Structure 1
Amino acid sequence: MEDKILFKDESYKIIGICMNVHSSLGTGFLEAVYSEVLEIEFKKNNIPFEKEKKLEIFFNGEKLNKTYRVDFLCFNEIIIELKSVSFLHDNFSKQLQNYLKATNKKLGILINFGEKSLKYKRIINL
């Protein structure tokens, strides 16, 4: 039985762009700077995205009044959550997992520009 990686090619492109951005800028900038540069790079590389996209949140099938604004929604399916911190705390992963559940999206990628090398974590909504 062959293992299928969810949105493999799309994830590879996104993470590759993030690695290039991290290689160019390094650490120490605010998330907003990395976000602006990623917007430029996503456009340049024909990655379909919506920046600061507002997503509806559901609980037991009922739409809530509260919404969640993602850093990026790429390919209309992948939530990108950016961080610029010294390490990725487990709470960030749990938070992204909750966003995936609440929005019914299948994949989130947590990306941290704040460490010496780019750190990322794929979070899947089962």
Structure 2
Amino acid sequence: MSREEANRLSNRIIGAAIAVHRELGPGLLESAYEVCLKYELSRQGLQVESQVPQSVTYRGISLDCGYRLDLLVEDLVIVELKAVEGLLLTQLKALSLQSRDESKVALLSAVCYNIIMI
């Protein structure tokens, strides 16, 4: 997928996240936003997986450390949702671990306030 196609896909995801937040409003659990965003993206014909296990490679061995991607769209874009009043630097750093795969794009959605594309 070209950078332009990835940007178009990212824009669709951001638009869907905004639509979900406008419909639901603030204050719900992260899981509610996740389920609704997955539904909205699937309704648009996109392939969406939720709670995708993410291993850590240590000394050439892939180890399951309990990390999960909230949503993986079209096997390319990682969407991490946070139902919080603001984002902490530690949350942004945690996303960097999930976006180390250079073949994927990572989006962080703070469903209560803003959407950040990393």
Give me the TM-score of the superposition, normalised by structure 1: 0.81
Q: Cα distance, 1:93 vs. partner? A: 1.0
Question: 1:77–1:37: structure 2 CA closer, same or farther, 3 Å change rule?
Answer: same
Tell me, yes or no, if structure 1 residue 122 matches structure 2 residue 117: yes
Change (3 A) 1:6 1:106: farther
Q: Is the 8 A contact 1:77 1:105 kept in 2?
A: yes
Q: After TM superposition, where is structure 1 displaced by more than 3 Å over at least 4 residues in a row?
A: 59-62, 103-106
Q: Which residue of 2 aligns with 1:62?
A: 61
Determine if the alignment matches structure 1 residue 82 to structure 2 residue 81: yes
Say whether the 8 Å CA contact 2:54–2:64 is kept in structure 1.
no
1:74-95: per-residue Cα shift (whole Å, max 9, x none)? 1102111001100111111110
Segments of 5+ residues of structure 1 without an aligned counterpart are: none
CA shift, 1:6, in A, is 7.7
Identity over the aligned pairs, expressed in percent?
Answer: 28
Which residue type is aligned with residue 52 of structure 1? Q
Q: How many residue pairs get matched? A: 116
